[in-house]
Structure 1
Amino acid sequence: QQQQQQLSIVKRRKLESYVELDNDDACSEDAFIRKIASASSTDLEVSSVEPAPPPPPPTQTQPAAPTLMMLPTVSPTKFIPTGPRAMTRVAHKRQPAVPQNTVVTSSNGRVQLEIVSQPEQQHRARYQTEGSRGAVKDRSGNGFPIVRLAGYNKPAVLQVFIGTDIGRVAPHMFYQACKVAGKNSTQCNEKKVDGTMVIEIDFKPESDMTVTCDCVGILKERNVDVEHRFPDHLAQKNKKKSTRCRMVFRTQLAHDDGTMEMLQVCSNPIICTQPPGVPEICKKSLNSCPVDGGLELFIIGKNFLKDTHVLFQETYESCPPNDVATELAVRQHLGGALWEQTVLPDKEYLQQTHLVCVVPPYIHQNILKPVTVQLVIISSGKKSEPHTFVYTPKGSYTTLAAATTLSTAALHGSLSAAQDAATFMDT
């Protein structure tokens, strides 16, 4: 029984050492390798303690160890890699989902690759069948991304390619870097590396080892080309295609001792789709409504997205200038809106060019004369031009008070047609 307890303690130590490796709390590959080495030495000590003959099979009289039954069976090959592939998998596991740092430092701490100016947050990618859409600009919209290699005064080459927007850096499946030629653009070379387009720009000491990336654009790949380029990713067909990417910058350093080192840094995510336009109201079914509201309002326009909502508001500009009470109320509200109400459109009928909503009731139900307010469409944080909308006193609204009215000729034509139909029915 003492021998059985000793074996239980030995197995528990082995499991604890593997669970410690599974936590993956190392900060560098060196620390991870040291941890693997210590775990290997522990295994050697454990093997020396274990007796040669195997333990007898447990019987009903021998109690089972509940702690060992609760822990999962751990395979040593899962945590101790035997090749570079397993080592790379664990190293990539430590990287955050989206790296937020824009500076990467060499192993000796002397050289830094830094993104001085980040690319713009949204850049519409170019299709192969259309002309150039220009290079990717910076956040200000007036310049271009800038990358600097600090602490290094030898000629080097900056490589730029388009990578995925999340996770570890990898070439994007649907977007590629493309060369943009301009009159004053930086000289660059374009080449393909394993199916990925790479733009190469020279770091020069006379330029303070700083490169302005004004010659790099984003190209949208055809789905057919993507299938040929990534034949093993057939499962991606049924998944939603990502419309975001990152610009990846990397360079290779030559140290004094003859060793080579690669530095790589990636930008913040870039949205590659067309930015949403400003919403616009072209026509609406109602121009007025009684103060109690409740009528359906049909609006035809442009750029109505999923987050679209309709805003009814009464401001100082929409009120008569000679209304003293209104002016006092505006001063009391420090120039803000006198009244406003947000209405969500019916999702079933919400399209990019039209929507249907219900007119909200006005705040004052006992008005004696019509009140003019503003109607605004808000979509993707952008506002449309305000349209006037009138609230009338109760009982003064008719169903003909709509935005679109029939002309006199059309009205007479419809009445005569109705009379002819009635005469036909009588005969």
Structure 2
Amino acid sequence: MSAPLLDVRDLSIAFGAGAKESLVVDRVSFRLDAGRTLALVGESGSGKSITALSIVRLLAPTARHPSGEIFFDGQDLLRAPEEDMRKVRGAEISMVFQEPMTSLNPLHTIEKQVAEILAQHGATDRADMRARVIEGLKEVGIRDPEGRLGAYPHQLSGGQRQRVMIAMALANCPKLFIADEPTTALDVTVQAQILSLLRDLQHRRNMAMLFITHDLGIVRKIADDVCVMQKGRIVEAGPVADIFAAPKHPYTQALLAAEPKGAPPQADPSAKKLIEANDLRVWFPIRAGFMRKTVGHIKAVDGVTCEVREGQTLGVVGESGSGKTTLGLAMLRLIRSDGPIAFLGQRIDAFKAKEMRPLRRDMQIVFQDPYGSLSPRLSVAEIVEEGLTVQKRDLTYAARREIVARALADTGLDPQAMDRYPHEF
């Protein structure tokens, strides 16, 4: 039997020391061969991402390994000098994270960021690097790659940013590709495209893939084998078909039982209209020349009519860049648009910011990227109570804290964690 490409043996990871020591991964073992996909599955906080980060030695300096070995292509990574690890990262092993907006540098163009990966591992010829960047972007499905070279991350959609991250990760043809929840922040249409892309690239390159997710539906589509993690331990492991057909551990059984089933409840068609838009348009001008004259328009939303009633869920589906997010932003008057919009029977499309403020408490939006939405300088309590300080100024500090605690509990978070910062979750 040949040696596996990746062999993780009895790995433990702890933070802190003495009485404050916290063991977050406890004696985890798994193997991964070239050309195969292993999924690490478990709820948030189960140790999946920490395990993956330990493979590329990107854990915080406060982390330590009470036990374990990690062998990659015969090399002991935990005991390798940092100089050797720099040669491994990005060349032999690459990793893509959940949030491309926080992984990409907002001040650098797409070309510069992909080329930087090539330069770090020996590429020097600028023309050759540009050609390789274009080829890499084309390979991951970026349309008009030459035209995207000068783009910045904020000018791309979420799906396009994730494709750029994949292009960067695969630029140096790694043997092992680690994907940490790469499709969580994407809509289902783009998610399917990214999964199909990864499968295709893996087969063409005979690349091993370690896929981290909490979504069992994704595991079914992409993985050969699966390890189920709970509270830092692997509680069940084996081929995907076997685990899904006959799960043995109660936690695995509970995960499978929790998958959504059946049709959604039917909404009352006579219910009151909450919000409606008619012939809604959002056009962005294309400017050119010294005087920056408008020479055309990008029609992000063009003549859309829709409504949402009380108790109803309206799904807006489309490929990346089709205008879904722009439609939502326009209906909530967060960007400029043309066309009538009514909220609770009242026309709001001509409202100024001051007139919209009292309505904001009754309309809310959750964005795609939590890291891009949450200020790293504010605690979770300060972030959650910010709306209360604007909309309900008569509340005392204690009353606001009580509401924040209830909100955290309602969403399955520990109220005791309200004074933590976003990066601590």
Please confirm whether the aligned pair reaches a TM-score higher than 0.5, indicating the same fold. no
Q: What's the TM-score once normalised by structure 2's chain length? A: 0.21
- Greater share of residues in helix: 2
Higher relative contact order (CA 8 A, sep 6+): 2
Instruction: Pick the structure with greater CA Rg.
Output: 1
Q: What's the TM-score once normalised by structure 1's chain length? A: 0.21
